[in-house]
A and B are shown apart, each in its own frame.
Chain A
């Protein structure tokens, strides 16, 4: 069982490059920005010290490249796809959930709820695989090729294009991000529909809504003033919580679509035993969760005055 990444790296250097112990150790210490002669706890303190200054050490696979540089290059792509997926699925889920809560006697209500519960159960990466098969592999009857050229849609953008290309570039990143985004949307929408339907239905049964109806208030007014605000509470908290998992949830999907975001970088780092990069990315993912938990509490306090204390 390997215990210490630095030791492993030093051993690897010695055995594969045939260099001396001192040389290997000095190389390792330069990479991690650590002084290996200090006791471990002092090393940890100095790692934290470096961390505060934004220095997470250097990558092993590509020596000389700082971990923070790698993260800065990958982070926007993951934020873009997972973020769009989260926002689109939430909006669609709220709309569909509200419709199915209000039209519980219509024929299409069981279809919405039924598909929502099925789709929310299927793992996201299987949804991705099904999408690839449906759009990119099967040649449907009467066509001479699959619906979409899936192979050329891999990656984050077409080589050579940059932000200076303006509209072409924007269209290109959306074309490349389309499959991951649709996968995230489908993977989450069922949960939003069920959550919104459940919370709206239970709010509609509350006495203050009945009273508002009895007072003869208009439906729009009941919906906006009495139902929406309360039905929205669980949605808002869930949204804030999900924001935290925005970075961590993208691992398999990015591998599936060869989308060079943070998740794919973490996987590559694991395969290449690039410990500083693994450490850095895991840290960013955790930080993201901690901050959105805080955000969730703030939102809850703002929306539900009952949870505020000391007032």
Chain B
């Protein structure tokens, strides 16, 4: 119980420090708004499925906040509902890849020897794989559903995470408390999850937001290229707007701008959160206010 209280206290201190960073606050606010919208919009802004040929490419108005699309449907509900899938998938991808990263990245330096060498070699080879082109080719072979895509994305990006977590663990490994735990003959699982992982939590959270960003980029890219099954999300909206030639109708500007701006905001919020965490936990890296 004491440790929970301690964690909570630490969390509060961290939150306080983070709130003093304007960019971080902006990032968190944008992300929270997107999450909130994703949660409530199925009830408040339901998708409009019926096409209305008389209302094609209407400019924004009181009724259609962001105008209408090529089938005369309101764009705003599509924007409000379009972030959910992307966020969820990015979250799953980041969780899987961070789990793989933590497990291999801590196990390798702790076990050491040949195991470490072989994994490191594999990671180096893995890093030369061109990820996005390979994803494009894979989606030509297989029907990548959301969950399969999350898994594939996570597996494709294990190597980078493995290397950075391994480097972090190498420096933590020599600390006294890890030595002490080892001398007490505590299990490897205990050392990994109770001693080392909590001490690199900030580092892991940073990598988590970074992974989410990569996952969103890859997803939106594949959706934009029309290589994934169609559903309602910002990438698909971009793809449809593009395929409908919406970009060449000056009236349809909102149809393509709305998802493009939404995606940019989502990624910017993740980047800003990442940067403010970095400032928070690595004051050495701070370049703005030094000397």
Contact = CB atoms under 8 A, between A and B. Distances in A.
Q: Do A and B come from one complex?
A: yes
Interface of A: 1-2, 5, 113, 117-118, 121-123, 125-126, 129-130, 132-133, 137-139, 151, 197-198, 201-202, 205, 244-245, 247-249, 251-252, 255, 263, 266-267, 269-271, 273, 278, 281-282, 285-286, 289-290, 293
B136 to A, nearest CB: 6
Nearest to A123: B217
B269 to A, nearest CB: 9
A130 B225 contact: no
Interface string B126-143: 001111111011011110
A248 B133 contact: yes
Given A123-B267, A138-B253, A205 B290 contact: yes
A266 B137 contact: yes
B208 interface: no
B225 A137 contact: no
A253 to B, nearest CB: 10
Contact of A125 (B133, B137, B224, B291): B224
B268 A121 contact: yes
B287 A118 contact: no
B220 interface: yes
B243 to A, nearest CB: 11
Nearest to A8: B141
Interface in B222-244: 224-225, 227, 238
B87 interface: no
Interface in B252-291: 253, 256-257, 260, 263-264, 267-268, 271, 275, 285, 287-288, 290-291
B137 A286 contact: no
B263 A123 contact: yes
Contacts of B224: 125, 252
A105 B217 CA distance: 35
Nearest to A262: B133
B267 to A, nearest CB: 6
- Measured as residues with beta carbon below 8 angstroms from the partner, the interface class of chain B is 35 or more
Given A198-B287, A248-B133, A251-B132, A1 B225 contact: no
A158 to B, nearest CB: 20
Contact of B137 (A126, A132, A282): A282
B271 A137 contact: no
B250 interface: yes
Interface string B30-48: 0000000000000000000
A2 B133 CA distance: 19
A122 B136 contact: no
A205 B139 CA distance: 49
A141 B260 CA distance: 23
A245 B130 contact: yes
Given A2-B141, A282-B134, A289-B130, A123 B221 contact: yes
B257 A270 contact: no
B221 A125 contact: yes
B250 A138 contact: yes
Interface string B118-130: 0000000000111
Nearest to B124: A293
Given A251-B225, A289-B130, A137 B263 contact: no
B136 A133 contact: no
A137 B250 contact: yes
B247 interface: yes
Given A123-B263, A130-B260, 14 more contacts: A117-B275, A121-B213, A121-B271, A122-B264, A123-B264, A129-B260, A248-B131, A248-B133, A249-B132, A251-B132, A263-B133, A273-B140, A278-B140, A285-B133
Contacts of B260: 126, 129-130
A251 B133 contact: yes
A137 B253 contact: yes
Nearest to B134: A282
A252 B291 CA distance: 43
21 contacts: A2-B141, A118-B268, A123-B263, A123-B264, A123-B267, A126-B260, A129-B260, A132-B247, A197-B287, A198-B287, A201-B290, A245-B130, A255-B225, A266-B136, A266-B137, A269-B140, A270-B137, A270-B139, A273-B140, A278-B137, A289-B129
A244 B247 CA distance: 32
B6 interface: no
Contact of B142 (A1, A290, A293): A1
Given A130-B260, A278-B140, A282-B130, A267 B225 contact: yes
Nearest to A204: B291
Nearest to A130: B260
Nearest to B285: A198
A286 B221 contact: no
Contact of B140 (A139, A245, A271, A285): A271
B268 A286 contact: no
A310 B124 CA distance: 23
Contact of B221 (A151, A198, A252, A270): A252
Contacts of A113: 288
B128 A133 contact: no
